[in-house]
Amino acid sequence: MKVAIFGTGYVGLVTGTCLANVGNHVLCVDVDARKVERLNAGEVPIFEPGLDEMVAYNRGEGRLRFTCDTAEALAHGGLIFIAVGTPPEEDGSADLSHVLSVARTIGRQLERPAVVVNKSTVPVGTAVQVRATIQAELDARGADIDFDVASNPEFLKEGAAIEDFNRPDRIIVGAEREDTIATLRALYAPFNRFRDRLLVFDTRSAELAKYAANALLATKISFMNEVAGIAERLGADVEAVRHGIGSDPRIGWQFIYAGAGYGGSCFPKDVRALAAMGREGERTPQLLGAVEEVNNRQKRLLFEKIRAHYGGDLAGRRFALWGLAFKPGTDDMREAPSRVLMEALWEAGATVRAYDPAAMDMTRSLYGERSDLQLAAQANEVFEGADALVIQTEWHIFRSPDFELIRERLKAPVIFDGRNLYDPAWLARQGFTYYGIGRGTRTP
Protein backbone atom coordinates (compact mmCIF):
# COMPACT_ATOMS: atom_id res chain seq x y z
CA MET A 1 0.00 0.00 0.00
CA LYS A 2 0.96 3.65 -0.36
CA VAL A 3 0.75 5.34 3.03
CA ALA A 4 1.20 8.99 4.02
CA ILE A 5 1.98 9.81 7.66
CA PHE A 6 1.70 13.31 9.08
CA GLY A 7 4.18 13.64 11.93
CA THR A 8 7.66 12.16 12.35
CA GLY A 9 7.71 12.08 16.13
CA TYR A 10 7.93 8.88 18.11
CA VAL A 11 4.64 7.36 16.95
CA GLY A 12 4.77 8.55 13.35
CA LEU A 13 8.36 7.47 12.74
CA VAL A 14 7.97 4.02 14.31
CA THR A 15 4.66 3.44 12.53
CA GLY A 16 5.98 4.54 9.16
CA THR A 17 9.17 2.54 9.46
CA CYS A 18 7.45 -0.68 10.54
CA LEU A 19 4.85 -0.37 7.77
CA ALA A 20 7.62 0.17 5.21
CA ASN A 21 9.52 -2.80 6.57
CA VAL A 22 6.77 -5.22 5.45
CA GLY A 23 6.64 -3.83 1.92
CA ASN A 24 4.44 -0.73 2.00
CA HIS A 25 5.60 2.53 0.43
CA VAL A 26 5.52 5.21 3.12
CA LEU A 27 5.94 8.95 2.81
CA CYS A 28 6.27 10.79 6.14
CA VAL A 29 5.60 14.52 6.20
CA ASP A 30 6.59 17.02 8.88
CA VAL A 31 6.55 20.82 9.16
CA ASP A 32 10.00 20.77 10.81
CA ALA A 33 12.34 21.19 7.83
CA ARG A 34 15.45 20.54 9.94
CA LYS A 35 14.04 17.23 11.20
CA VAL A 36 13.13 16.16 7.67
CA GLU A 37 16.61 17.09 6.49
CA ARG A 38 18.17 14.99 9.25
CA LEU A 39 15.93 12.02 8.47
CA ASN A 40 16.75 12.20 4.76
CA ALA A 41 20.43 12.23 5.74
CA GLY A 42 19.90 9.03 7.73
CA GLU A 43 19.93 10.67 11.16
CA VAL A 44 17.16 9.43 13.47
CA PRO A 45 16.29 12.13 16.02
CA ILE A 46 14.90 9.81 18.72
CA PHE A 47 16.41 6.92 20.65
CA GLU A 48 14.64 3.62 20.12
CA PRO A 49 16.53 0.31 19.97
CA GLY A 50 16.74 -0.97 16.38
CA LEU A 51 15.04 2.02 14.78
CA ASP A 52 18.17 3.55 13.21
CA GLU A 53 18.97 0.38 11.32
CA MET A 54 15.39 -0.16 10.20
CA VAL A 55 15.04 3.41 8.93
CA ALA A 56 18.33 3.14 7.02
CA TYR A 57 17.36 -0.19 5.45
CA ASN A 58 13.93 0.96 4.25
CA ARG A 59 15.28 4.28 2.98
CA GLY A 60 17.85 2.33 1.02
CA GLU A 61 15.13 0.11 -0.42
CA GLY A 62 13.13 3.17 -1.48
CA ARG A 63 10.09 2.33 0.64
CA LEU A 64 10.48 5.09 3.25
CA ARG A 65 10.79 8.77 2.39
CA PHE A 66 10.46 12.08 4.24
CA THR A 67 9.17 15.45 3.04
CA CYS A 68 7.79 18.82 4.11
CA ASP A 69 5.49 18.93 1.07
CA THR A 70 1.96 18.15 2.30
CA ALA A 71 0.53 18.12 -1.24
CA GLU A 72 3.09 15.51 -2.26
CA ALA A 73 2.16 13.40 0.77
CA LEU A 74 -1.56 13.58 -0.01
CA ALA A 75 -0.95 12.69 -3.67
CA HIS A 76 1.18 9.72 -2.58
CA GLY A 77 -1.67 7.44 -1.54
CA GLY A 78 -5.17 7.09 -0.23
CA LEU A 79 -4.27 5.97 3.30
CA ILE A 80 -3.37 8.97 5.47
CA PHE A 81 -2.25 8.70 9.10
CA ILE A 82 -2.35 11.61 11.54
CA ALA A 83 0.41 11.06 14.12
CA VAL A 84 1.10 14.53 15.50
CA GLY A 85 1.40 15.58 19.13
CA THR A 86 -1.50 16.29 21.47
CA PRO A 87 0.23 18.12 24.34
CA PRO A 88 -1.71 18.89 27.53
CA GLU A 89 -3.53 22.16 28.07
CA GLU A 90 -3.33 23.89 31.46
CA ASP A 91 -6.43 22.03 32.66
CA GLY A 92 -4.98 18.66 31.58
CA SER A 93 -7.12 18.30 28.48
CA ALA A 94 -5.46 17.39 25.18
CA ASP A 95 -4.52 20.17 22.77
CA LEU A 96 -5.95 19.20 19.38
CA SER A 97 -4.57 22.17 17.46
CA HIS A 98 -1.97 20.10 15.58
CA VAL A 99 -4.47 17.35 14.74
CA LEU A 100 -7.06 19.80 13.43
CA SER A 101 -4.39 21.71 11.52
CA VAL A 102 -3.55 18.52 9.66
CA ALA A 103 -7.26 17.92 9.06
CA ARG A 104 -7.58 21.38 7.49
CA THR A 105 -4.58 20.71 5.28
CA ILE A 106 -6.11 17.44 4.14
CA GLY A 107 -9.40 19.15 3.34
CA ARG A 108 -7.67 21.89 1.34
CA GLN A 109 -5.35 19.64 -0.68
CA LEU A 110 -7.05 16.25 -1.00
CA GLU A 111 -7.67 15.30 -4.63
CA ARG A 112 -8.56 11.60 -4.37
CA PRO A 113 -10.68 9.28 -2.17
CA ALA A 114 -8.92 8.55 1.10
CA VAL A 115 -9.07 6.92 4.50
CA VAL A 116 -7.79 9.26 7.23
CA VAL A 117 -6.57 7.46 10.34
CA ASN A 118 -6.12 9.11 13.72
CA LYS A 119 -3.01 7.48 15.22
CA SER A 120 -2.47 10.29 17.72
CA THR A 121 -3.82 9.85 21.24
CA VAL A 122 -6.94 11.99 21.08
CA PRO A 123 -10.01 12.68 23.23
CA VAL A 124 -13.28 10.90 22.60
CA GLY A 125 -15.09 12.53 19.70
CA THR A 126 -11.98 13.64 17.81
CA ALA A 127 -12.76 11.49 14.78
CA VAL A 128 -16.03 13.38 14.44
CA GLN A 129 -14.17 16.70 14.69
CA VAL A 130 -11.58 15.66 12.13
CA ARG A 131 -14.29 14.50 9.74
CA ALA A 132 -16.19 17.78 10.12
CA THR A 133 -13.02 19.85 9.65
CA ILE A 134 -12.03 18.04 6.46
CA GLN A 135 -15.56 18.25 5.10
CA ALA A 136 -15.77 21.99 5.81
CA GLU A 137 -12.60 22.60 3.78
CA LEU A 138 -13.83 20.40 0.94
CA ASP A 139 -17.15 22.28 0.92
CA ALA A 140 -15.33 25.63 0.88
CA ARG A 141 -13.62 24.73 -2.38
CA GLY A 142 -16.63 22.92 -3.84
CA ALA A 143 -14.88 19.55 -3.91
CA ASP A 144 -16.87 16.32 -3.79
CA ILE A 145 -14.33 13.71 -2.65
CA ASP A 146 -15.19 10.56 -0.76
CA PHE A 147 -13.26 10.04 2.46
CA ASP A 148 -13.62 8.38 5.85
CA VAL A 149 -12.01 8.94 9.25
CA ALA A 150 -10.99 6.04 11.48
CA SER A 151 -9.37 5.73 14.90
CA ASN A 152 -6.35 3.46 15.30
CA PRO A 153 -4.68 4.18 18.66
CA GLU A 154 -1.08 3.13 19.23
CA PHE A 155 0.05 0.91 22.09
CA LEU A 156 3.82 1.27 21.81
CA LYS A 157 6.15 1.07 24.80
CA GLU A 158 9.22 3.25 24.57
CA GLY A 159 12.25 1.00 24.43
CA ALA A 160 10.22 -1.85 22.88
CA ALA A 161 8.24 -0.01 20.22
CA ILE A 162 9.38 -2.04 17.22
CA GLU A 163 8.61 -5.32 18.98
CA ASP A 164 5.21 -3.96 20.05
CA PHE A 165 4.34 -2.89 16.51
CA ASN A 166 5.51 -6.12 14.90
CA ARG A 167 3.94 -8.42 17.51
CA PRO A 168 0.99 -6.46 18.92
CA ASP A 169 -1.23 -7.61 21.77
CA ARG A 170 -4.15 -6.05 19.94
CA ILE A 171 -4.82 -3.81 16.96
CA ILE A 172 -7.78 -1.55 17.65
CA VAL A 173 -9.63 -0.05 14.71
CA GLY A 174 -12.45 2.39 15.27
CA ALA A 175 -14.55 2.61 12.12
CA GLU A 176 -18.08 2.15 10.84
CA ARG A 177 -17.64 1.73 7.09
CA GLU A 178 -16.91 -1.80 5.90
CA ASP A 179 -14.52 -0.63 3.17
CA THR A 180 -12.47 1.30 5.72
CA ILE A 181 -12.32 -1.71 8.04
CA ALA A 182 -11.26 -3.92 5.11
CA THR A 183 -8.50 -1.47 4.14
CA LEU A 184 -7.04 -1.38 7.64
CA ARG A 185 -7.39 -5.13 8.03
CA ALA A 186 -5.33 -5.56 4.86
CA LEU A 187 -2.73 -3.04 6.03
CA TYR A 188 -2.23 -4.87 9.32
CA ALA A 189 -2.40 -8.40 7.88
CA PRO A 190 1.41 -8.91 8.11
CA PHE A 191 1.23 -8.20 11.84
CA ASN A 192 -1.86 -10.32 12.40
CA ARG A 193 -0.95 -13.78 11.14
CA PHE A 194 -0.60 -15.92 14.27
CA ARG A 195 -4.09 -15.15 15.57
CA ASP A 196 -6.62 -12.44 14.85
CA ARG A 197 -5.64 -9.51 17.06
CA LEU A 198 -7.67 -6.91 15.19
CA LEU A 199 -10.57 -5.50 17.22
CA VAL A 200 -13.16 -3.34 15.50
CA PHE A 201 -15.01 -0.73 17.56
CA ASP A 202 -16.86 2.47 16.90
CA THR A 203 -14.51 5.47 16.85
CA ARG A 204 -15.50 6.78 20.28
CA SER A 205 -14.84 3.45 21.98
CA ALA A 206 -11.49 3.10 20.20
CA GLU A 207 -10.45 6.57 21.34
CA LEU A 208 -11.46 5.87 24.94
CA ALA A 209 -9.75 2.46 25.00
CA LYS A 210 -6.34 4.10 24.60
CA TYR A 211 -6.84 6.44 27.55
CA ALA A 212 -8.38 3.72 29.70
CA ALA A 213 -5.42 1.39 29.07
CA ASN A 214 -2.77 3.91 30.08
CA ALA A 215 -4.77 5.18 33.05
CA LEU A 216 -5.24 1.66 34.39
CA LEU A 217 -1.51 0.89 34.13
CA ALA A 218 -0.72 4.17 35.90
CA THR A 219 -3.26 3.22 38.57
CA LYS A 220 -1.49 -0.08 39.21
CA ILE A 221 1.81 1.76 39.69
CA SER A 222 0.33 4.31 42.09
CA PHE A 223 -1.50 1.56 43.98
CA MET A 224 1.74 -0.32 44.57
CA ASN A 225 3.47 2.87 45.65
CA GLU A 226 0.65 3.48 48.12
CA VAL A 227 1.06 -0.07 49.42
CA ALA A 228 4.83 0.52 49.66
CA GLY A 229 4.21 3.46 51.99
CA ILE A 230 1.97 1.32 54.17
CA ALA A 231 4.52 -1.51 54.17
CA GLU A 232 7.26 0.84 55.28
CA ARG A 233 5.20 2.17 58.19
CA LEU A 234 4.21 -1.33 59.31
CA GLY A 235 7.64 -2.93 58.93
CA ALA A 236 6.69 -5.14 55.97
CA ASP A 237 8.62 -5.63 52.71
CA VAL A 238 6.73 -4.50 49.60
CA GLU A 239 8.77 -6.92 47.45
CA ALA A 240 7.35 -9.84 49.42
CA VAL A 241 3.90 -8.32 49.04
CA ARG A 242 4.46 -7.98 45.28
CA HIS A 243 5.22 -11.69 44.98
CA GLY A 244 2.20 -12.49 47.09
CA ILE A 245 -0.24 -10.60 44.88
CA GLY A 246 1.49 -11.05 41.50
CA SER A 247 1.10 -14.82 41.71
CA ASP A 248 -2.68 -14.28 41.58
CA PRO A 249 -3.53 -14.58 37.85
CA ARG A 250 -6.34 -12.06 38.29
CA ILE A 251 -3.70 -9.46 39.17
CA GLY A 252 -0.60 -10.57 37.28
CA TRP A 253 3.02 -9.41 37.48
CA GLN A 254 3.11 -6.39 35.24
CA PHE A 255 3.16 -2.83 36.57
CA ILE A 256 3.16 -3.81 40.25
CA TYR A 257 6.68 -2.66 41.08
CA ALA A 258 6.96 0.00 43.76
CA GLY A 259 9.39 2.74 42.88
CA ALA A 260 10.08 6.43 42.40
CA GLY A 261 6.95 7.09 40.33
CA TYR A 262 6.05 7.03 36.65
CA GLY A 263 6.92 9.61 34.00
CA GLY A 264 7.22 9.83 30.24
CA SER A 265 5.08 11.20 27.46
CA CYS A 266 2.00 9.02 27.97
CA PHE A 267 0.93 8.09 31.48
CA PRO A 268 1.00 11.57 33.08
CA LYS A 269 -0.62 13.24 30.07
CA ASP A 270 -3.25 10.57 29.51
CA VAL A 271 -4.32 10.34 33.16
CA ARG A 272 -4.89 14.11 33.20
CA ALA A 273 -6.68 14.09 29.84
CA LEU A 274 -9.02 11.27 30.89
CA ALA A 275 -9.79 13.13 34.12
CA ALA A 276 -10.49 16.27 32.07
CA MET A 277 -12.90 14.32 29.87
CA GLY A 278 -14.62 13.01 32.98
CA ARG A 279 -15.06 16.51 34.36
CA GLU A 280 -17.04 17.45 31.28
CA GLY A 281 -19.90 15.24 32.51
CA GLU A 282 -21.94 15.39 35.68
CA ARG A 283 -19.48 13.35 37.77
CA THR A 284 -15.98 14.37 38.76
CA PRO A 285 -13.53 11.42 38.54
CA GLN A 286 -12.16 10.60 41.99
CA LEU A 287 -9.69 7.80 41.33
CA LEU A 288 -7.73 9.49 38.54
CA GLY A 289 -6.92 12.50 40.68
CA ALA A 290 -5.66 10.21 43.44
CA VAL A 291 -3.46 8.32 40.96
CA GLU A 292 -1.75 11.54 39.92
CA GLU A 293 -1.48 12.83 43.49
CA VAL A 294 0.20 9.62 44.68
CA ASN A 295 2.61 9.75 41.74
CA ASN A 296 3.58 13.37 42.35
CA ARG A 297 4.26 12.56 45.99
CA GLN A 298 6.25 9.46 45.03
CA LYS A 299 8.57 11.47 42.80
CA ARG A 300 9.71 13.44 45.86
CA LEU A 301 10.06 10.43 48.13
CA LEU A 302 13.75 9.74 47.45
CA PHE A 303 14.60 13.37 48.09
CA GLU A 304 12.71 13.25 51.40
CA LYS A 305 14.62 10.10 52.40
CA ILE A 306 17.92 11.76 51.47
CA ARG A 307 17.09 14.93 53.38
CA ALA A 308 16.03 12.96 56.47
CA HIS A 309 19.22 10.86 56.42
CA TYR A 310 21.39 13.98 56.47
CA GLY A 311 19.32 15.82 59.03
CA GLY A 312 18.05 18.34 56.51
CA ASP A 313 21.55 19.66 55.71
CA LEU A 314 22.33 18.97 52.05
CA ALA A 315 24.29 22.12 51.21
CA GLY A 316 27.67 21.24 49.72
CA ARG A 317 26.93 17.54 49.43
CA ARG A 318 27.42 15.59 46.20
CA PHE A 319 25.25 12.70 45.06
CA ALA A 320 26.04 10.03 42.50
CA LEU A 321 22.98 9.37 40.35
CA TRP A 322 22.34 6.33 38.19
CA GLY A 323 19.50 6.82 35.71
CA LEU A 324 18.03 9.94 34.10
CA ALA A 325 15.49 8.62 31.57
CA PHE A 326 12.01 7.94 32.93
CA LYS A 327 12.46 4.22 32.14
CA PRO A 328 15.10 1.91 30.60
CA GLY A 329 15.40 1.64 26.83
CA THR A 330 14.76 5.30 26.03
CA ASP A 331 16.31 8.75 26.30
CA ASP A 332 12.93 10.31 27.12
CA MET A 333 13.06 12.55 30.21
CA ARG A 334 9.58 14.03 29.97
CA GLU A 335 8.23 14.16 33.54
CA ALA A 336 11.02 11.81 34.65
CA PRO A 337 11.37 11.30 38.42
CA SER A 338 15.09 12.06 38.05
CA ARG A 339 14.27 15.65 37.16
CA VAL A 340 12.21 16.15 40.30
CA LEU A 341 15.03 14.69 42.41
CA MET A 342 17.85 16.69 40.81
CA GLU A 343 15.97 19.97 40.95
CA ALA A 344 15.14 19.41 44.63
CA LEU A 345 18.78 18.57 45.42
CA TRP A 346 20.01 21.66 43.60
CA GLU A 347 17.54 23.84 45.44
CA ALA A 348 18.88 22.40 48.72
CA GLY A 349 22.46 23.31 47.73
CA ALA A 350 23.67 19.86 46.66
CA THR A 351 25.41 18.82 43.44
CA VAL A 352 24.79 15.79 41.22
CA ARG A 353 27.14 13.63 39.18
CA ALA A 354 25.00 11.45 36.93
CA TYR A 355 25.15 8.69 34.33
CA ASP A 356 22.54 7.20 31.99
CA PRO A 357 23.22 4.88 29.03
CA ALA A 358 20.93 6.84 26.68
CA ALA A 359 19.78 10.16 28.15
CA MET A 360 23.00 12.16 28.52
CA ASP A 361 22.42 14.34 25.45
CA MET A 362 18.81 14.85 26.45
CA THR A 363 19.96 15.98 29.91
CA ARG A 364 22.38 18.47 28.35
CA SER A 365 19.64 19.86 26.13
CA LEU A 366 17.32 20.29 29.12
CA TYR A 367 19.75 21.77 31.64
CA GLY A 368 22.73 23.03 29.66
CA GLU A 369 26.03 23.60 31.42
CA ARG A 370 25.72 24.19 35.16
CA SER A 371 28.14 23.89 38.03
CA ASP A 372 25.88 21.65 40.14
CA LEU A 373 25.50 18.97 37.46
CA GLN A 374 28.29 16.83 36.04
CA LEU A 375 27.64 14.04 33.55
CA ALA A 376 29.98 11.07 33.78
CA ALA A 377 31.24 9.22 30.72
CA GLN A 378 30.87 5.82 32.42
CA ALA A 379 28.70 4.41 35.18
CA ASN A 380 31.57 3.89 37.62
CA GLU A 381 32.78 7.47 37.27
CA VAL A 382 29.92 8.94 39.33
CA PHE A 383 31.20 7.79 42.75
CA GLU A 384 34.31 9.88 43.41
CA GLY A 385 33.63 12.42 46.15
CA ALA A 386 29.94 11.50 46.40
CA ASP A 387 28.16 11.22 49.72
CA ALA A 388 25.78 8.52 48.47
CA LEU A 389 24.55 6.64 45.39
CA VAL A 390 20.97 7.18 44.19
CA ILE A 391 19.26 4.91 41.64
CA GLN A 392 16.40 6.36 39.58
CA THR A 393 16.19 4.15 36.46
CA GLU A 394 16.41 0.36 36.43
CA TRP A 395 18.80 -0.09 33.49
CA HIS A 396 20.24 -3.61 33.32
CA ILE A 397 23.82 -2.37 33.75
CA PHE A 398 22.91 -1.12 37.25
CA ARG A 399 21.48 -4.44 38.45
CA SER A 400 24.69 -6.25 39.39
CA PRO A 401 27.36 -3.63 40.06
CA ASP A 402 30.72 -3.90 41.79
CA PHE A 403 29.63 -3.11 45.34
CA GLU A 404 33.18 -3.27 46.67
CA LEU A 405 34.16 -0.53 44.23
CA ILE A 406 31.12 1.51 45.22
CA ARG A 407 31.95 1.19 48.92
CA GLU A 408 35.57 2.20 48.33
CA ARG A 409 34.80 5.29 46.28
CA LEU A 410 31.80 6.78 48.10
CA LYS A 411 32.52 8.98 51.10
CA ALA A 412 30.17 6.71 53.04
CA PRO A 413 28.51 3.44 51.92
CA VAL A 414 24.96 4.74 51.51
CA ILE A 415 22.51 3.77 48.74
CA PHE A 416 19.08 5.24 48.00
CA ASP A 417 17.43 2.74 45.68
CA GLY A 418 14.41 4.18 43.89
CA ARG A 419 13.73 0.96 41.96
CA ASN A 420 14.33 -1.73 44.61
CA LEU A 421 17.09 -3.35 42.57
CA TYR A 422 19.10 -4.75 45.48
CA ASP A 423 18.72 -7.06 48.48
CA PRO A 424 18.60 -4.85 51.59
CA ALA A 425 19.76 -7.54 54.03
CA TRP A 426 22.72 -8.55 51.86
CA LEU A 427 23.83 -4.94 51.41
CA ALA A 428 23.61 -4.34 55.15
CA ARG A 429 25.93 -7.33 55.68
CA GLN A 430 28.36 -5.73 53.22
CA GLY A 431 28.46 -2.57 55.31
CA PHE A 432 25.95 -0.43 53.40
CA THR A 433 23.15 1.72 54.70
CA TYR A 434 20.30 1.02 52.32
CA TYR A 435 17.06 2.87 51.63
CA GLY A 436 14.55 1.24 49.31
CA ILE A 437 10.91 1.95 48.49
CA GLY A 438 8.54 0.17 50.87
CA ARG A 439 11.41 -1.84 52.37
CA GLY A 440 12.42 0.28 55.32
CA THR A 441 16.03 1.21 56.11
CA ARG A 442 18.80 -1.34 56.56
CA THR A 443 22.03 -0.47 58.34
CA PRO A 444 25.21 -2.50 58.93
Q: Is 91 left (phi over 0), alpha (psi -120 to 50) or beta?
A: alpha
Residues 436, 428 contacting (CB under 8 angstroms): no
Rounded to an integer, what distance in angstroms lies between the CA atom of residue 137 and that of residue 320? 56
Rounded to an integer, what distance in angstroms lies between the CA atom of residue 338 and that of residue 47? 18
Rounded to an integer, what distance in angstroms lies between the CA atom of residue 392 and that of residue 302? 9
> Taking each helix axis from N to C terminus, what angle separates 203-234 and 238-246, rounded to the nearest 10 degrees?
140
Contacts of 309 (CB under 8 A, 6+ apart): 388, 414, 416, 433, 435
What are the C-alpha distances in Å from 398 to residues 49, 313, 356, 377, 405? 18, 28, 10, 15, 13
Hey, which residues does 319 pair with through a beta bridge? Answer: 352, 388
Rounded to an integer, what distance in angstroms lies between the CA atom of residue 342 and that of residue 375? 12
Residues 386, 412 contacting (CB under 8 angstroms): no
27: helix, coil or strand? strand
Other CB atoms within 10 Å distance of the CB of residue 341: 26
Contacts of 93 (CB under 8 A, 6+ apart): 123, 272, 273, 276, 277
Catalytic residue among 18, 28, 68, 266: 266
Catalytic residue check, 28: no
Residues 340, 409 contacting (CB under 8 angstroms): no
Contacts of 172 (CB under 8 A, 6+ apart): 151, 152, 153, 155, 199, 201, 206, 209, 210
Q: Which residues have a catalytic role annotated?
A: 266
